[in-house]
Amino acid sequence: MGVPRLPRLTRTRVLVAVLVLALLAAGGAALAGPLGERDTAAAARTSEQRIEVRGGPGVPEPVSLDTTLYLPETTPAPAVLVAHGFGADKTSVDAEARDLAARGFVVLAWSARGFGTSTGQIALDSPDYEVADAQQLVDWLATRPEVVQDGPDDPRVGVTGGSYGGALALLLAGYDRRIDALAPVITWNDLGQALFPEAAAATAPPPDTPARGTFGPDGVFKRGWAGYLFAAGATGSPAGRSGTEATPLTCGRFTATVCAAYTEAATTGRLSPATAELLRRSSPASVTDRITAPTLIVQGERDTLFGLDQADANARQIAAAGGTVRILWYSGGHDGGAPGDAVRTEIADWFDHHLAGRGDAPGAGFAYTIRSELRTNSDTPTERTVVADAYPGLPGEPPVQTEQIALAGPPQPVTHPAGGSPAAITALPGVGAQLGTIGGRVAAATSEIPGQSAQFRSDPLAAPVTIAGAPRVELTVSRVPGQPTAGAAVLFGKLYTLSADGRRTLLGGAVAPMRIPVPADGSAARVTVTLPGVVAPVQAGDRIIVSIGTTDQGYASPAAPAVWRIGVDGAVQVPVVPGHAVTPNTVPIGYAIGIGVLLGIALAAGLVGWLRGRRRPARATGDPDLPLEITGLAKTYRGGVTAVSDVSFTVERGMVLGLLGPNGAGKTTVLRMLMGLVRPSAGTIRAFGEPVGPGASVLARIGAFVEGPGFLPHLSGYENLRLYWAATGRPAAEARLADTLEIAGLGDSVHRRVSTYSQGMRQRLALAQAMLGLPELLVLDEPTNGLDPPQIHAMREVLRRYAAAGRTVLISSHLLAEVEQTCTHVVVMHHGRVAAAGTVEDIIAGAGAASFTVDAPERAAAIIAALDGVRDVAVEGPLVHAELNGNPRASVVRALVDAGIGVQSVGPRRRLEDAFLQLVGEDTAP
């Protein structure tokens, strides 16, 4: 009996479920270690100890916390408590602890009760349990001679942590006046509102309102994230405890009260008064009016668990109470990744000033990060940080600025299916902001299910705008006569951009749930809806789309079917925060190498050359007419790994030389040494007779395209080239821009925005950039990567035209057939050495494999086979192939002609690929 085949809908659900599980697994790291991990050489003395704390109400026996103390080189010093994220333990913050210890702080990390090997049960940052534990750790620090003391039982101490640990930092500062500074990261303000976004979201208060109210039972349950969080703590029994029979096995390490609250919410989809009170006590919102210590609030711009609204509420409430607040939004979050080095440095600088009295005052400003569409070769998005003078809307600060973007579209009926299935998939735990990238076609097919959403779009924007905050839109919601309805409409708002080439992007990867009461008399409910807070650059020519849907996989939906009519009134208001960019890394690292290193070298070349000329004796120079001369080049790295050994070759004017070799042959190392990015261990590199190295003035005569192309997508190709050249500081006339554009063949496309370019156009623009100033030596690494055959042919013609004027081109490529057709000369590397060098024809000819086109192939084969040393003679139509084994082709032709055989043509038999494989072996690949 065969296995029954799943119905199509069931199979689709299984595939989606598999995708969801994979994405959940990918997203788990954000919870486990929200502050991230990185390699660190910071040495710190550490000691492990168990610290017993009071069990708390209803727990008579003490709880044993597993802790690690990190000591800096010099003590006494201020202390920092470092709390971990939910589902993790103290080991997840080891890198951060070591970094802070290297900055001169005593650091105490611990596994919270219920996690790691600490005993006790999880109470969700309860003031009676986890917060009380942290207060007792402060007491313990007050007894340590290594910690600076501000008074009796008052150590100088700060606290930081991410997510679960971030909320603990805020709650501890609210309950314990001894906290001198804090830096909460990607955390919540009101846990009830975060897990049950409520109906008040549809009538949100003005942005300068300092506090938000409690949230009633009509919120929309964020079941995806809630379930994932509960699962992270529901595995196993509390360490070191017995008698867990009183707690259901389904509760794992949670207290019975927390377990019951989750069970109720998961089964009813509602927030009961008891659960609301439990979550309120675990919310910083309950104590923000008491926080007086300087607070650095770090929040992620890609976070479907705790959005920017949670950080906004914390900031406004603390500032309204008179506290000092600095706000930093970075481009990650629970969906987008842990903070990088720049954010961690900001946190350390905050403690440096407010705990140790070192460094300038960081101030109470605001910074946010703009992520570009542009990506590096490793698919890493590029970004820049913008600093504003102040956080808009705080007491004494300017109000929030907004721009109105008109929307068009008639009121539209939308259907909520029975059971809320199928549901749109837009926000998934841990990957909500990345589903469009990871999910690919799945995301495109499931984020907007036909019939379930009303969409309203703008005209193409006349000018670019950067959204920084939560947009708002006026909605009308009414019943559809004769169709099933309920008392309230549960809806989900989303904001997209639609580019000129049809790409649609869900901003922030997030949705805004809302529950809107709808009049039964047929009139429309008019509400102001707050969409998810985002930071997103929108380019000129793009459209804005506001979508209001009826389902979302991440939230609980009503079971009953319903139909609603949705309309928009006017425009969407998008917040903007003017500021100035402080990090110009808006291009990939490869592009930055070109700008930051090559151009920096070019700018400094004169000064460096002058200084070196004064300090060192004159060095011998080579042939000034020789573009490149490499002699005895070698590079050995630490540990004895030799990448390049005794490499020598020469490149002359007019050559197009291909640098070939299998992976690991040393090609990239040679190029990096050529560009002055790596110092050779031995040997010399001379360009136009001058030694090449870091700071060499001759590098200004070399153009390079050594990584993937990177450009500012909202600017035209022409503007990108102009700005690139301006960064060199050289006169505009020297750019030879018109000549460059003619050679590159960009035509009128150079005046279009780069975001509209095909991959081939981007490669041409990258080549044009490398050719600016018409450098005499052009070095290109994989210039035809990602191009289709017609584009490769066009690139080949560009390179030939460039070299035809007496300039020189050096290409590193793995496309052997293309090198054969493009290059005049080849250098083949293998195991760090030169395996062969010469003209393409010479390399192909190798030991003498040749083909002869003759009028009597059988007789010709017999004559050729009779010659001394010739072997492997074969006939193929009018062709006779033979391995000449050193016999000159001219002597073979003479023998054939003397025998009365006509010879129409003669040439090498093999292709470059054949020669390459013979040189480096069949088991290697270029």
Indicate the burial class of 776 (C-beta count within 10 angstroms; 0-12, 13-18, 19 or more): middle
Q: What's the pLDDT score for residue 589?
A: 32
Does the pLDDT value for residue 900 go beyond 80?
yes
Q: Which of 371, 369, 365 is nearest to 392 (CA)?
A: 365
Per-residue pLDDT, 611: 39
Q: Are 74 and 104 in contact (CB under 8 A)?
A: yes
Q: Cα angle vertex 273, ends 270, 276, to 5°?
A: 80
Q: What percent of the chain has pLDDT over 90?
A: 34
Sign of the torsion formed by the C-alpha atoms of 655, 661, 663 and 668: negative
Does residue 111 surpass a pLDDT of 80?
yes
Residue 780 structure tokens: 């290109």
> How sure is the predictor about 422, in pLDDT bands with cuts at 50, 70 and 90?
confident
Nearest C-alpha neighbor of 362 from the set 525, 181, 132, 193? 181
Per-residue confidence (pLDDT) for residue 160, from 0 to 100: 97
Residue scoring higher pLDDT (306 or 484): 306
The pairs formed by 610-618 with CB atoms below 8 angstroms and a separation of 24 or more are: 612/695
* pLDDT tens column, 216-272: 346 788 888 888 788 877 665 444 443 334 455 567 889 999 999 998 888 888 888
Q: Which stretches of 470-578 are assigned E, i.e. beta strand? A: 472-479, 488-498, 504-506, 512-517, 525-530, 534-538, 543-549, 562-576
- As a whole number, mean pLDDT of residues 620-647 equals 82
Better-scored residue on pLDDT, 772 or 612: 772
Mean pLDDT of 510-518: 90
Find the distance separating the first CA and the last CA of the chain, reported in whole Å.
Answer: 51
pLDDT value for 63 = 96
* Residues in contact with 919: Cβ distance below 8 Å, sequence separation at least 6, in sequence order: 828, 830, 835, 836
Name the pLDDT band for 763 (thresholds 50, 70, 90).
Answer: confident
DSSP states of 737-767 as a string?
HHHHHHHHT-GGGGGSBGGG--HHHHHHHHH
| Mean pLDDT across 815-843 | 80
Check residues 641 and 182 and name the one with the higher pLDDT.
Answer: 182
Higher pLDDT among residues 301 and 740, named by residue: 301
Per-residue pLDDT, averaged over 196-205, amounts to 50
Average pLDDT over residues 318-335: 91
Walk me through the domains of the chain, giving residue ranges and CATH numbers: 195-281 (no CATH), 401-581 (2.60.120.260), 589-617+651-679+693-839 (3.40.50.300), 847-909 (3.30.70.100)
- The rounded mean pLDDT for the chain is 79
Peptide bond into 76 cis (omega under 30): yes
More confident residue, 910 or 129: 129
Predicted TM-score (pTM) of the model is: 0.62
Contact 485, 543 (CB under 8 A): no
State how far the Cα of 210 lies from the Cα of 216, in Å rounded to an integer: 19
- Greater pLDDT, 42 or 321: 321
Residues in CB range of 113: below 8 A, 6 or more apart: 63, 65, 119, 120, 121, 122, 123, 129, 130, 133, 238
pLDDT at 453: 93
Residue 174, SS3?
helix
Average pLDDT over residues 630-634: 91
Given this model, what pLDDT does residue 444 score? 47
> What are the tens digits of pLDDT across the range 116-161?
999 999 999 999 999 999 999 999 999 999 999 999 999 999 999 9
| Residue 478's pLDDT band (cuts 50, 70, 90) | very high
**Whether residue 17 has pLDDT greater than 70:** no
Percentage of the chain lying above the pLDDT 70 cut: 79
Please compute the mean of the pLDDT values over residues 825-843 and round it to a whole number. Answer: 81
Rounded to an integer, the average pLDDT of 678-685 is 87
Q: What's the rounded Cα separation, in Å, for the pair 639 and 356?
A: 39
Instruction: Identify the band that residue 803 occupies on the pLDDT scale cut at 50, 70 and 90.
Output: confident
